Amino acid sequence: MPSMLTDVFRAHPISLSHQTHDLTSLRQLPDSFTWTHEDDLLFSAASNDQNTLPVIDLSDHAAAAAIGRACMSWGAFQVTNHGVPLSLLDDIESLTVSLFRLPAHRKMRAARPVDGVSGYGVARIASFFHKQMWSEGFTVTGSARDHFRKLWPLHHLKYCDVIKEYEEHMQKLATKLMWLVLSSLGVTEADIKWAGPNSDFNGAQAAIQLNHYPVCPEPDRAMGLAAHTDSTLLTVLYQNITAGLQVFKDGVGWLTVSPIPGSLVVNIGDLLHILSNGRLPSVLHRVRVNKNRSRFSVAYLWGPQSDVQISPIWKLVSPVEPPLYRPVTWKEYLRTKATHFNNALSVIRAHQQE
């Protein structure tokens, strides 16, 4: 997994030179962090909090149908009774808080290389915008030992154990969610040959993204993470009690996803949108900041094996509903996304193929 992702991101390098300030030390918003409608057309879009993102109990026998409705309507939902121990969520949050509260010079010891994937740095989408985002992140792919040893020379092993356990639980949950989503479309395990003989998506790849959105002196003029879709099959997000995540729905606008203790947020990524032949929207989402509390979150970015061709599932294609997208591997799609950003899906539309 790490080598595949590294190869991909070498085509779209980004360094910490995009981030020139220690955000926690600023008492005024620099111009480089001040966003307007001209910097992002969606920046000033209205927010509508009259709607609620669906909350689904995974222990409910009707969970698949509820997930199907949520995916069709929103492209995202929250889950409870998901099987991930609450103590583990506390541990991953504690790790994240500990990491980002380290002095800036300590975090820089584990800075992400220009041509690398893992390590401390700014969001990769930063290069698509003129203004900087009020956030910092840390990406983990594969073993975190080398990076964590630089951050916590005496305590890195306990944090490595947390990451390993978290990844194991997330892989199981992502697999379960994937089948619930597909079953809501009438797709069975027999229809997805690349899921493997045990239908467990053995070999699926993932990255863990730790995020910090510090207290901001002028949150209404800043952006924590600009609007984007994920290049994944599914993304599973743990957010602490501080709100900030927003999802976009046509006709509604931006909805703030209020945190529910112990719950996880799930959103459809671009690859699952392709698999569903466009039936499931890859949800546009962003993060806003506030001036009272720091926000921490952990995203599990889950995708297929690197050599699997992702294309519309045959059951969802017909003469009246032809395939909307040509086959593409995750590796190829990530390269396309690195060049075309939120227009990547348009680039691989079926009519583009000669």
Separation of alpha carbons 135 and 251, rounded Å: 29
First-to-last C-alpha distance (Å) of the chain? 31
Residue type, 254: W
At 129-143, the pLDDT tens digits run 999 999 999 999 989
Q: How many CB atoms lie under 10 A from the CB of residue 113?
A: 15
Q: How many residues does the chain have?
A: 354
Residue 45 belongs to some domain of the structure: no
3-state secondary structure 280-325: CCCCCEEECCCCCCCEEEEEEEEECCCCCCECCCHHHCCCCCCCCE
pLDDT digits (tens, 9 = 90+) for 7-42: 433 334 344 444 546 888 788 899 999 998 877 767
User: What is the number of structural domains in the chain?
Assistant: 1
pLDDT in tens, 208-259: 999 999 999 999 999 999 999 999 999 999 999 999 999 999 888 899 999 9
Cα Rg of the chain, angstroms: 20
CA distances from 242 to 57, 107, 154, 213, 293 (A): 22, 23, 30, 10, 7
Say if 94 falls within a structural domain: yes
Q: What pLDDT sits at residue 306?
A: 85
Q: How confident is the model at residue 351 (pLDDT cuts 50, 70, 90)?
A: low
**Is 278 part of any domain?**
yes
Q: State the pLDDT at residue 175.
A: 97
Residue 234 lies in a domain: yes
The whole-model pTM stands at: 0.93
* Segment 195-199 long-range contacts (CB within 8 Å, at least 24 positions apart): none
The catalytic site residues sit at 295
Which domain covers residue 139, as residue numbers? 2-9+59-352
CATH assignment of the domain containing 170? 2.60.120.330
Nearest-angstrom CA–CA distance, 19 and 288:
18
* Residue 29: inside a domain: no
Determine, yes or no, domain membership for 33: no
Confidence of residue 177 (pLDDT cuts 50, 70, 90): very high
What tokens appear for 20 in the block? Answer: 């020139």
Q: Does 223 fall in a domain? A: yes
Note the Cα 154 to chain centre separation in Å: 30
